[in-house]
Amino acid sequence: MKVSGKAAGISPTPGVSGAKPSGVAHPSGPATVQADALSVSSSAQLLAVAREQLARIPDIRTDKVDAIKAQLDSDAYNPDGEAVAEGLIREHTPPAPVKDR
pTM confidence score? 0.34
Q: What is the DSSP string of 26-87?
A: ETTEEEE---------HHHHHHHHHHHHHHHS-SS-HHHHHHHHHHHHTT-----HHHHHHH
For residue 38, being part of any structural domain is answered with no
For residue 33, being part of any structural domain is answered with no
Cα separations in angstroms, 101 against 94, 98 = 21, 9
What distance in Å separates the CA atoms of residue 91 and residue 87, rounded to the nearest whole number? 6
Domain total for the chain?
A: 1
Name which residue leads in pLDDT, 92 or 28.
92
Q: What pLDDT sits at residue 62?
A: 92
Q: Tens of pLDDT along 57-85? A: 888 989 999 999 999 999 999 999 999 99
Confidence of residue 46 (pLDDT cuts 50, 70, 90): very high
Q: What pLDDT sits at residue 40?
A: 80
Q: What pLDDT sits at residue 49?
A: 93
Q: Tens of pLDDT along 4-41? A: 555 555 555 555 555 555 555 555 666 777 888 888 88
70: containing domain: 60-93
For residue 83, being part of any structural domain is answered with yes
| Region class of 75: left (phi > 0), else alpha (psi between -120 and 50), else beta | left
